[in-house]
Structure formats: structure tokens, C-alpha cells
Structure 1
């Protein structure tokens, strides 16, 4: 009975957290780019684009991710880094999945057909115990959380913000 109660509490808290994140993303996003879950991304090969700023990327990022930024995102410079195959799988992420939706939408408008937004971004990635690396390629616990308000969404790892 005790094990069932513990399992129920774990599932309930995960579901509650997911619903709160859904609410946040629904507030900010248009949902014009399909999401991909962290579990699905972990089991697939894709071009990874980091839509956070360079200072965030330098703290940590997903392995093999290309920093394309957000504030000064340049679609033409980004296109130069992408495969010519417009059907190549591309996953864009940021902290939670808000900035990345805007960047991903621009790639779709350029004709890319297999573009996804990472649901919950690097925060969800780290919260699910997946590895992030620093600029030297070393695994790190640090994640730039953009600011103190957004840092509440990162449950695992060491929060870094200015």
C-alpha cells in the first residue's frame, strides 16, 4: 500500500508540473510548431539549434547543438549551418520552449518541413536527468536560467543567472 501511495504522489506531482508548464507555454506560444518531448529527442538523431543567447549557451547546452541566438537571430546565417535537405529533422530549443518556437517557425517559413520545438527546453531536458555540456565539452550541472523568475522551472542542476 505504501508503494502505491508513493507512486501515486510521484505521478501526480509530475502531472501537475506538466499542466503548469502547458499553461505557461499556451500563454506565450501560438503552437504553430510541433513539440518534441525530451524522451523522444533522446532517442532520435536531429540537428539541434539553441535559440538562447551566447552567454546562456556558454554555461551549458545540449551536445552538438548550434547556437543561433534569439535577440539577433539571423535566418540567413542559420540556413548556412543547416543541411540542404529541407526534410532534415531539426529541433530548436531554448530555456522552456518560447523563444525556440519563434525561431523554429522562421525555419518552417524557409521551407524546412521537419522542424520541432523541444517541449520544456533545456530545463525539461535537465529535469529529466539528461546531460548538458559546457563550452569545453565537459558535462556540467550548470544551466543558465535566464533570470530568477524563470529559474523556478529548473528543478535539477545548478541555476546560473545574472
Structure 2
């Protein structure tokens, strides 16, 4: 019984310390986990994705921005061509090489996956969806541009999607 009374205060202090650390770190941890779960729910497991940290040279890709024009004008990946979503037409991709990798992206990856599937159906062999979209790209400290100049602005589509942006200036 005396061992229990000696261990008990130490054990309680350890519990308090552990749960204190857990509570302090919980918002960042749960948000990261929640974002991953959100993305898993949006993506088809059969459609290939590539993560920002896996991309060392954007020039290896034909880059297509599948967001709306006003989103593209706020910022985009260097070398990206705007093709849109609501107004997307495969004719906009006629000049692309069907045998060279294509990187499609949008805010988080839902719209770009849809466009990517259309590209695959049209005979493009190597189509990849940017995992987490432009939000994850910005969160990974990857460069963005607007009108040929570097920028930190990111159009987040809506305030709801904007909660996931941790690096950069939110624009809705």
C-alpha cells in the first residue's frame, strides 16, 4: 500500500503532463488528421496522386489549373495553364503531349480529379492529381505566382476550405 501512495502522485503528475501536452497539440494534430480524412473521402483510390514534396521539378509536367479563372488569377503554380472546370473543354488540351506527364490541380483536388479522368479517357497516359491541391502546395512552402511574380496569396474557393490553409494569404 505504501508503494501505491508513492507512485500515485508521480503517476498523476505524469498523467497531467501527458494530457496537457496532448491538449496543447490537439488542434494541429486533429486538423492534419481531419484534412487527410477529408482528402481520402474526396479521392478515388484508383486515380494517381502526387504530393508536393515529391515534385522537385515542375517542368517534368504539363500543368493544368482546373479552377475558375478568378482563382487562377490570384495565384497558380509556375508554368500552369488555366483550363477551368465549369467551362472545361478537351479542345484546350489538344496541344498537349499525351505521352508526357500531366499534373492537374485545383483547391483541394476534387475538381482536378474530374478533369484528370476526362484526360485519361481522351488517351493521356500519365495524369496525376496534386494531392491536397493548391492549399497543400502552399502549406508545403512551394512557390506560387501571379502575373509572373511570386505571391503568397491563395484563393481558397470558400471560407470553409480556407481553414486548411496554414501558409499564405487567404483570398475567397
TM-score, length basis structure 2: 0.78
Distance 2:55 2:28 in 1: 19
Higher RCO (CA < 8 A, seq sep 6+): 1
**Corresponding residue number in structure 2 for 1:30:** 44
User: Would you say 1:72 and 2:84 are equivalent positions?
Assistant: no
Unaligned runs of 5+ in 1: 1-8
Please give the residue correspondences for 1:41-52 in structure 2 after superposition, counting only pairs within 5 Å: 41-43=55-57, 45-52=60-67
Question: Residue 117 of structure 1 aligns to a residue in which SS?
Answer: strand
Shift of 1:30: 2.2
TM-score, length basis structure 1: 0.83
User: Would you say 1:160 and 2:171 are equivalent positions?
Assistant: yes
Contact 1:141 1:157 (C-alpha < 8 Å) held by counterparts: yes
Shift of 1:41: 2.0
Q: 1:66 to 1:14 in 2, by over 3 A?
A: farther
Q: Deviations over 1:19-77 (max 9, x none)?
A: 32231123223233200010112345111100100000000000000001111111122
Which entry has the higher C-alpha Rg, 1 or 2?
Answer: 2
Please give the residue correspondences for 1:12-27 in structure 2 after superposition, counting only pairs within 5 Å: 17-27=31-41
User: Would you say 1:120 and 2:155 are equivalent positions?
Assistant: no
**Corresponding residue number in structure 2 for 1:60:** 75
Unaligned runs of 5+ in 2: 1-21
Structure number with the higher helix fraction is: 2
Q: Deviations over 1:54-108 (max 9, x none)?
A: 0000000000000011111111222x2312xx22111101111111100001101
The CA RMSD measured in Å over matched residues stands at: 2.2
- Match for 1:142 among 137, 150, 153? 153
